[in-house]
Amino acid sequence: MEIVVCVKPVPEAETRLRVAADGARLDAEGVKFVLAGYDESAVEQALLLKEAVAGSTVHAIALGPAPRTEEVLRAAVALGCDKASWIEVPSGGSDDPLDAARILAAAIRGLPHDLVLCGKQAGDDESGLVAGALAEALGVPGFGYVVDLRWDAARSRFTFHRAVESGQESWECPGPIVIGLQQAWNDPRTAKLPAILKSRKATITKIAASGAAASVATPEKFELPAPRTGAKMIEYRTPQEAAEKLVRILREDAKVFP
- Least distance in angstroms from the C-beta of 200 to another protein: 5
Q: Which of residues 176-195 bind another protein (CB under 8 A)?
A: 190-194
Alpha-carbon distance 229 to 231, whole Å? 6
Nearest to 75 by CA among 195, 188, 186: 195
Contact status: 196 vs another protein (CB under 8 A): yes
Q: For 109, which DSSP code?
A: T
Nearest-approach distance from CB 148 to another protein, in angstroms: 25
Which of 24, 66, 67, 126 touches another protein by CB under 8 A? Answer: 67
Strand partners, 116: 4, 178
Site residues for another protein, window 26-45 (CB under 8 A)?
A: 34
* d(C-alpha 180, C-alpha 38), whole Å: 9
Pick the stretch among 70-78, 128-136, 146-154, 246-254 that binds another protein (CB under 8 A).
Answer: 70-78
200, 221, 232, 255: which one contacts another protein (CB under 8 A)? Answer: 200
Q: Which residues, 6 or more positions from 39, have their beta carbon under 8 angstroms from its beta carbon?
A: 6, 7, 8, 10, 72, 118, 119, 122, 123
Residue ranges in contact with another protein by CB under 8 A: 34, 67, 71, 74-75, 78, 190-194, 196-197, 199-200
